[in-house]
């Protein structure tokens, strides 16, 4: 059994030494968006429908220096938000960040910060509609206990958003972690020494070295800050997952898997779609075998990002024409560069739409009070129901029942 207290103390020491993430504090609200932290868009992604209410409770479980908390407050103006973290220093930075950005001053509902371990989330009062847990569970001595603590705080029909490391895409990182630990010897746990040793290794390795090349190609831009370098290479506790061990963790939560929030990666056709025979064989696989096959064929994945729920969670299928015609459309709020026919969508991918689609989105913008249905908005417009369904499937509009 792991010495949980010693591990938690070591993790707290790391983040008190190097508060993470090291995003600079600013006097401006956070730029852009992350749709996973917006209750409306996250709920729509998981259910296909706009949530019935927005005056919800959100828990940022392991908030660190508050980069995500800043967005959660900014993107959910009607929510009560609670943030917890194991590092007192990181919490202080998080509070300062959210004060300086102005998001707290603009928020009408309570925003509170608590110095708690993730496993102690059960000490918080009440339950939460949305729990955000990014980059935390894999640093716990016993992740199962952490996810079970969060599961106990999730309301029925609520969403738990999780981010944990994937072992295949972090292979070089793991090797570097072990190399630094060997060279530190008895100084392991001195995180500033670990950063120095790691930087010396990278400065000394041959140019064609695989670890050095991976660092330069994928991580150097963020790792120029010692806080990020320490979090990646000298962390005292890390558990990396594969699909099999990931679903063991999910099963331990007692919650239901909703889906990965990066579905494009989990599309087998992008890898072997040119072979109808292989695609036919894959139809006999279970969901978990299907996911495992994808990560084996494309081991570039460095993390899993997904949603869990405590049933019941509604799931709306808009394939029925009559149902779609009666729906009330709203433009998806996560767009960069709109209005225009070319803009970044919810996932910061460039999309191009027709003039008729643009006019329909603008009609949705003007539909907040009137609450006209799809059928009513389509009248006298050069757009058909198939194109409206495409807008919904591409998450350019969000629908609610009339």
Domain boundaries, the chain: 4-167+240-309, 169-233, 321-400
What is the DSSP secondary-structure string of 277-323? Answer: HHHHHHTTS-HHHHHHHHHHH-TT--EEEEEEE-S------TTSHHH
Q: Residues with Cβ < 8 Å from 317, sequence gap 6 or more?
A: 48
pLDDT confidence of residue 1? 62
- Rounded to whole angstroms, the Cα distance separating 117 from 222 reads 26
H or E stretch at 148: helix 143-152
pLDDT confidence of residue 370? 84
* CB neighbours of residue 106 within 10 Å: 11
> Which pLDDT tens digit goes with each residue over 343-359?
999 999 999 999 999 99
pLDDT confidence of residue 57? 98
What residue ranges in 166-240 does DSSP mark as E strands? none
- The answer to whether the beta carbons of residues 341 and 333 sit under 8 Å apart is no
- Rounded to whole angstroms, the Cα distance separating 255 from 152 reads 10
Which residues does the chain have with pLDDT short of 50? Answer: none
H or E stretch at 160: strand 154-165
Q: What is the CATH number of domain 4-167+240-309?
A: 3.40.50.150
pLDDT confidence of residue 369? 86
In the sheet that 80-85 helps form, which strands lie side by side, from edge to edge? 111-115, 80-85, 57-61, 128-134, 154-165, 303-309, 256-260
pLDDT confidence of residue 402? 72
């Amino acid at each position: 059994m792991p010495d949980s207290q010693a591990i938690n103390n070591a993790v707290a020491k790391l983040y008190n030494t190097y508060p993470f993430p090291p995003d600079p504090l600013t006097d401006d609200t956070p730029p852009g968006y992350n749709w996973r932290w917006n209750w409306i868009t996250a709920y729509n992604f998981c259910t296909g429908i706009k949530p019935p209410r927005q005056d919800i409770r959100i828990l940022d479980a392991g908030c660190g220096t508050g980069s995500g908390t800043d967005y959660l407050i900014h993107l959910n103006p009607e929510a009560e938000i609670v943030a917890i973290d194991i590092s007192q220093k990181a919490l202080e930075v998080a509070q300062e960040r959210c004060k300086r950005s102005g998001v707290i001053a603009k928020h009408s509902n309570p925003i509170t910060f608590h110095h708690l371990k993730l496993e102690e989330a059960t000490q918080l009062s009440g339950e939460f509609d949305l729990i955000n847990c990014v980059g935390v569970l894999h640093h716990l001595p016993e992740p199962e206990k952490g996810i079970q603590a969060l599961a106990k705080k999730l309301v029925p029909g609520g969403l738990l958003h999780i981010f944990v490391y994937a072992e295949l895409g972090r292979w070089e990182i793991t090797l570097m972690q072990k190399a630094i630990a060997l060279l530190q010897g008895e100084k392991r746990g001195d995180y500033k020494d670990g950063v120095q040793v790691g930087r010396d290794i990278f400065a000394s390795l041959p140019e064609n070295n695989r670890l050095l090349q991976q660092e330069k190609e994928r991580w150097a831009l963020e790792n120029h800050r010692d806080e990020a370098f320490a979090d990646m290479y000298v962390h005292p506790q890390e558990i990396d997952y594969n699909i099999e061990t990931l679903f063991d963790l999910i099963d331990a939560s007692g919650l239901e898997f909703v889906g990965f929030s990066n579905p494009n990666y989990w599309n087998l056709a992008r890898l072997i779609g040119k072979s109808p025979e292989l695609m036919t064989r894959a139809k006999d696989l279970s969901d978990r075998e299907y996911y495992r096959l994808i990560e084996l064929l494309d081991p570039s994945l460095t993390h899993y990002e997904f949603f869990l729920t405590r049933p019941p969670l509604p799931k709306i299928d808009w394939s029925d024409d009559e149902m779609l015609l009666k729906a009330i459309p709203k433009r998806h709020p996560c767009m960069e560069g709109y209005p225009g026919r070319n803009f970044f969508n919810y996932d910061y991918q460039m999309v191009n739409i027709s003039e008729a689609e643009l006019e329909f989105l603008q009609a949705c913008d003007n539909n907040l009070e009137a609450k006209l249905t799809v059928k009513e908005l389509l009248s006298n417009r050069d757009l058909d129901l198939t194109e409206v369904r495409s807008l919904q499937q591409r998450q350019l509009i969000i629908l609610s029942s009339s």
